[in-house]
Amino acid sequence: MTDEPPQGFQMSGRRAFLEIAIVLGLIAIVVVVLLALVKAGAGVLANYVPTSFDRTLGDQAGRAVEATSSPCTDPGPQKYVESVAAPLVRSLGDKRWDFRFIVVENDEINAFALPGGFVTVNMGLLSNAESGEEVAAVLAHELQHVVCRHGTRRMLRQLGTSVAFAALFGSPDVAVPASVVRDFLSNAYDRSEESEADARGLTLLSQAGADPSGMATFFARLEKTSLTPPAIISTHPDPGDRAEKAMQAAKGAKPTLTLPSPKGLRCK
């Protein structure tokens, strides 16, 4: 007499394990497929969602930014950014967007754009830029994120189809969960979106009459002088490659615009 379980019991145990493994595998496949479909669907859906949806998302995310940031008390930096951005916005010729700019008291060298045209510029960016052309290069990049609706595509992926359908069928108010806003503000665009914003930003600089080489000098200098890459570099494609592309774009450009320097600006 032995203590071994009957053969039928062993077979049953192996079969149960195999069935569980198959079910888990199928669930994993479904999740991967759904995520791929959501990402692809968000890109397609964004083409049919009205731009008022972008403004609704941007307004809510913008309030979160204002609630957690310290806007410059001196109006000088914001007026400066608006003056540098003005010829870029005019050259876009896109009346769908109501661009708004805010400068916040943050030493991180960064700027970011929310859907609908809400652009935040850190004082650290202005303090480290050597010329108005360098500031314009960053702003042109951020404006193109808005025009290409990169942020809207990201939020559609995060919010899911229910919010997208509500916006599509005319819901006057779309509630954005705080977690989605937090994730949006803390995560970078993907590299394809960053590369597109770079390329279109360089074109916009030339159209506005600004010197595209400002993008090259700014990012090349930051890459060489910082052991820890600033957020504006670390979240983008290879800075050396993007600087080279900017220099190539600048070769055929004929700047007609002289932009004011950010030197001497203070938040308070």
**258 is a domain residue:** no
**70 is a domain residue:** yes
186 and 98 part of one domain: yes
**266 is a domain residue:** no
Q: What residue type is 203 in one-letter code?
A: T
146 and 193 part of one domain: yes
56 and 181 part of one domain: yes
34 and 54 part of one domain: no
73 and 191 part of one domain: yes
Which stretches of the chain drop beneath a pLDDT of 70? 1-48, 157-189, 225-240
- Looking at residue 165, what is its pLDDT? 45
Please answer whether residues 56 and 170 qualify as being in contact, where contact means their C-beta atoms are separated by less than 8 angstroms.
Answer: no
- Looking at residue 64, what is its pLDDT? 79
22 and 137 part of one domain: no
- Looking at residue 83, what is its pLDDT? 97
**178 is a domain residue:** yes
d(CA 122, CA 129): 11
81 and 32 part of one domain: no
**3 is a domain residue:** no
- Provide DSSP, 43-56: HHHTTTS-HHHHHH
Catalytic residue positions, numbered? 142
Number of domains in the chain: 2
**216 is a domain residue:** yes
156 and 230 part of one domain: yes
* Model pTM above 0.85: no
**88 is a domain residue:** yes
Residue partners of 83: CB distance under 8 A and separation at least 6: 260
Q: For the chain, where are the E strands, in sequence order?
A: 100-104, 111-114, 118-122
Residue 111 pairs in a beta bridge with 121
d(CA 9, CA 2): 15
138 and 19 part of one domain: no
21 and 103 part of one domain: no
**263 is a domain residue:** no
Could you tell me the residue range of the domain that residue 81 belongs to?
A: 50-251
64 and 165 part of one domain: yes
149 and 247 part of one domain: yes
